[in-house]
Structure 1
Amino acid sequence: MAAIETAPLPLPPSADLSKFVDFGREVKGVNPGTLTPEQFKEIERLLYKHSALLFRNVDLTPEQQYALTKAFDPTAENYGHGNNKTEGTKKSILHPDLKTIPRQPQVQLIGNGTVYNHEGLAEAKLKHPSHTTFHKTRVSEEDEAKGITRFYRWHIDAALYDLSPPKVTTLYGIEVPQGPRQVCRYDDGTGEELEVPLGTTAFVSGKTMFAILPPELKSLAVRSKVKYAPHPYVWMAPARAKPTGLGIESDSLELPLSELPPWEESKIKVLPLLWKNPVTGDLHFEVHPCGALELLVDPLPEGAKREGALHPDGAHITDLQTVRDLLYKMQRPAIAPSLVYPHDWHEKDLVLFHNRGVLHSVVGAFKSDQVRAFHQCNLAASDDPVGPDADDVKKWA
């Protein structure tokens, strides 16, 4: 059997190389659509160790993509948001972005423009999500014409209600329009910006997000859980996001819980802020800030230093603005330009990412006549993520 080779990802000049020592690998010498069980085991280990894997010049059918994705979680069956994708409602903010491959419904066609005769779809009108419809403020049309853009929404692929967050997402580029690079502005008063390839997918490491926190925020993170809203994508649909794409502005625009599709308390997700990597044991800060409703903080363990600690006796934080401000304070440092990997897509690129180890965002804007077609697959997991254990709490709290 030929050895699986790896090489570092092509990091941009903006990247702080010291923070990308373990993050991301290009995998060579193996076809991801036809892996032997031994090869898959090695790919699985590499993915959990490095968070994102890139394969170039891959020919991959929807069936092969589904099989590869499922191999990471063999008892998983449904697409990550459920096989009707959006809880049977047209109100969800995800609704316009997804089209299903008829013979392999767990694989979604995403992109931009109109695609004809594609894998059993006679015609599919695709729309690249744009910050102009989701953020509270927007880049001016003049600036947009000059190639200024934003992160759309930093997120984890997950329904965040009823279904468990997928372990792995696979993204496969089929038609990739080329065009001038764009400048992604943060527009949050920091003056930060990041030069990006057209239509990049941007990734940040949840491991780094935790690692760079000061001790008092590490202590808070290791003791906290987030309670998500029921049907969060319907709940948040009327609200608008921050200019960094990292969470929602608190303008009380969310749908009242009484107006959501029917929901059950038992299906609401309460998940740790930190998810434990099943291979490395590392803690990854994994919160979808847009869907967060409340924070539950455990008290400090016995013997922990109380001086300077936040919520030393524990807390149940239900004020939405407070919840969002606290999460933003913890998550914003990790999306700094030097910590973002913006993937430069080429046709037949396949990217696998550890959906429980990274956050990612769609970036950029296409014109309506620029055709882009990708296949995306993730599966609602067979279990919820595991949080910090007693030793982790003792170490970081």
Structure 2
Amino acid sequence: MVIASATTLEEAPELHLIAGKSEFTLPHAEKSAGRVVLIEHSPDSNVDFGAYVYGIDLNKFTDADFEFISDALHKHKLLVFKEQPQMLAPQRTSNPLTAKENGLLTPNIEHFDPEETTGGFAHGPDPLLTEHQGVKIYGLPKRPAIPVQPQVHILGRGPLPENHYQFPPDFEVQGIDHEDFHLPPHIPAEEREAGASRFYQWHFDASLYDIPPPRVGCLLAVRTPKGPDVTVRWDDGTGTEMKIAPGATAMVAGSRALALLDDETRDIVMNSRIEYAPHAFLWMSTAHSTRLGHLLETEGLEKPLDQLPPWSQEKVCVYPMVWTNPKTGEKSLQVHGQGAFKLYLKSSPNGEEKVVTDLKEVRAFMDKIMRPALNPENIYAHPHQEQDVILWYNRSLWHSITEFPKSYGPRVMHQCNVAASDHPAQ
């Protein structure tokens, strides 16, 4: 059984490349030219994270730049890199934020976690998707891997740019669709095209089985949808709505979620653990999500455990509900409601542990601890700008994709998240 153990975050000067298992030493500099400008949130917002980074060219990266970024990332949790003179140019073969062979964005996850040298995709090996003129493309229709750098995936919807890193002509990414996953009734097509939207799935990036969740997540905006703001609907009976930019990535801080709990519930989550389902995403693939995207509906539709691929209890992930930032000491409620399978509840370190196995009870508790944070004043919906790169600390933020009208055009993002060397500690 995988249980979190204590860890420290030590940055090293070596860079373990995701491709080729080569090593580079970062160019040395005494001081970074980077500067941080906090993201200004609206007066009615309670969001307290996020910053823009200026002065660092991700194609020309030094050891001082990394230290600057690492400190800023752990402090601000989300960094948006501006002023990039070019989109992480492929010819920059020695760029420490790119793969040696082609310069594609594979942000230096290993540099944040020097013990990790495998470069493994955080959700495990990809299946073969298709083959074109002898080039094999791995992944899923909604998450194809870039052929020349399979640790980088394409997220979004619509056609890719022409000659996009060995993808065949007219290749299109199949976008998310809440009709495939959310509990009916769904938003009618005409309302969706008029700008009605939903949060698809609130989560942190992780396989939730065997593989440790990444420390850092990353997106490079290649193409972004163009059109008016969309209106995200909660569709949970509260009538709650929120205007956001089309194709935005919505984020919530686990620290805010923790702060919103009453004292009794906070004591419980500080001392309790979650057991996630084996092969959690296959397990939930036959079930319905709540319309808010934070839980599964309890309908008995999950795939039976004996119909999953082979699994062992030793590889089942059992994580604390509260994780600690290794640089700042800040604590975050970091949970995945849809994958939750069993709860181990205690109100104090030495208190009696209550094991909850009934899925309806599990989800009622998960709703109790997650739902208070999922209100507009706690959500930051990042409006991606083409050529910008965002990094976020995956062990302190929840995030969700959002839908947008097809008429707004394609959304093409390069995503990289690489499994960490260890499981999270409280």
Look up the match of 2:412: 373
Asked if the contact 2:37–2:53 (Cα under 8 Å) also holds between the matched residues in 1, the reply is yes
Q: Secondary structure at the match of 2:403?
A: coil
CA distance in 2, matches of 1:369, 1:25: 27
- SS of 1:290's partner is coil
Matching of residue 73 in structure 1 with residue 113 in structure 2:
yes
Alignment deviations for residues 254-276 of structure 1 (CA, whole Å, 9 cap, x no partner) = 00000001111111100111111
2:175 paired residue among 128, 131, 134: 128
* 139-148 or 284-293: bigger deviation: 139-148
Are residue 82 (structure 1) and residue 124 (structure 2) matched?
A: yes
Larger deviation, residues 102-111 vs 7-16: 7-16
**Aligned counterpart in structure 1 of residue 367 of structure 2, from 328, 339, 345:** 328
Alpha-carbon offset, residue 243 of structure 1: 1.1
Of stretches 72-81 and 239-248 in structure 1, the one that deviates more from structure 2 is 72-81
Structure 2 gaps, min length 5: 1-30, 91-97, 129-138
Out of 93, 96, 99, the residue aligned to residue 141 of structure 2 is 96
| Residue equivalent to 2:279 | 231
Scaled by the length of structure 2, what TM-score is found? 0.82
SS at the partner of 2:108? Answer: helix
- Where 1:226 maps in the other structure, the secondary structure is strand
Q: 1:7 aligns with which of 34, 37, 47?
A: 37
Counterpart residue number, 1:349? 388
1:193-232 to structure 2, matched below 5 A, reads 193-232=241-280
Equivalent-residue separation in structure 2 for 1:26 and 1:75 (angstroms): 28
What SS is found at the alignment partner of 1:46? Answer: helix
Q: Is the 8 A contact 1:241 1:248 kept in 2?
A: yes
Give 1:176 shift: 1.2
What is the CA–CA distance in structure 2 between the aligned matches of 1:85 and 1:199, rounded to whole Å?
27
Task: Write out the 4+ residue segments of structure 1 that deviate beyond 4 Å after TM superposition.
Answer: none
CA distance in 2, matches of 1:142, 1:102: 36
Pairing partner for 1:290 from 309, 316, 338: 338
TM-score normalised by structure 1 residue count: 0.88
In the alignment, the residues of structure 1 paired with residue 107 and residue 376 of structure 2 have an alpha-carbon distance, to the nearest angstrom, of 35
- For the pair 1:274 / 2:316, whether they are aligned, the reply is no
* Cα distance change, pair 112–185 in 1 and its aligned pair in 2 (3 A): same
Task: Name the structure 2 match of 1:42.
Answer: 68
Query: How far did 1:301 drift?
Result: 4.1
CA distance in 2, matches of 1:319, 1:379: 33
Greater share of helix: 1
The alignment status of 1:313 with 2:352, answered yes or no, reads yes
Kindly state the Cα deviation for residue 34 of structure 1 after the two structures are TM-superposed.
2.8
1:82 partner amino acid: G
Q: Is the 1:176–1:346 Cα contact (8 Å) retained in structure 2?
A: yes
After superposition, what is the alpha-carbon deviation per residue over 1:174-224, rounded to whole angstroms, capped at 9, x for unaligned?
A: 111211110001111222111010111001001111111110110110111
Taking the aligned partners of 2:58 and 2:262, their CA distance within structure 1 comes to 39
Deviation of residue 369 (structure 1)? 8.0
Q: Distance in 2 between matches of 1:351 and 1:205?
A: 16
Residues 256, 332 of structure 2: 8 Å contact kept: yes
- Between 59-68 and 131-140, report the one with greater CA deviation: 59-68
Cα-Cα RMSD: 1.9
- SS of the equivalent of 2:268 reads helix
> Compared with structure 1, are the counterparts of its residues 51 and 39 closer, same or farther at alpha carbon in structure 2 (3 Å cutoff)?
same
Q: Distance in 1 between matches of 2:242 and 2:43?
A: 10
The structure with higher relative contact order (CA 8 Å, sep 6+) is: 1
Percent of pairs identical after alignment? 36
Distance in 2, Cα, partners of 1:11 & 1:32: 26
Q: What do the CA deviations read for 1:321-364 (whole angstroms, capped 9, x no partner)? A: 11111011101111110010001111001110011110000002
Q: Distance in 2 between matches of 1:380 and 1:344?
A: 26
Question: How far apart are 1:230 and its partner, in Å?
Answer: 0.6
Q: Is the 8 A contact 1:128 1:365 kept in 2?
A: no
Measured after TM superposition, the shift of residue 130 of structure 1 is: 2.1
1:339 is aligned to 378
CA distance in 1, matches of 2:110, 2:166: 22
Q: Deviations over 1:108-146 (max 9, x none)?
A: 112211224211212432022122221102112332232
1:12 Cα deviation from its structure 2 partner: 4.6
Counterpart of 1:308 in structure 2 is none
For the 8 Å contact 1:32–1:68, the answer to whether it is kept is no
Size of the alignment, in residue pairs?
A: 367
Determine if contact 2:193/2:406 at 8 Å carries over to the other structure.
no
Q: CA deviation at 1:107?
A: 0.7
- On the 8 A contact 2:296/2:337 being kept in 1, the answer is yes
| Alignment-derived partner of residue 155 in structure 1 | 203
Deviations 1:221-259 (A, max 9, x none): 011110010101100001011111111111110000000
CA contact (8 A) 1:242 1:248 kept: yes
- Which residues of 2 match residues 252-267 of structure 1 at below 5 A? 252-267=300-315
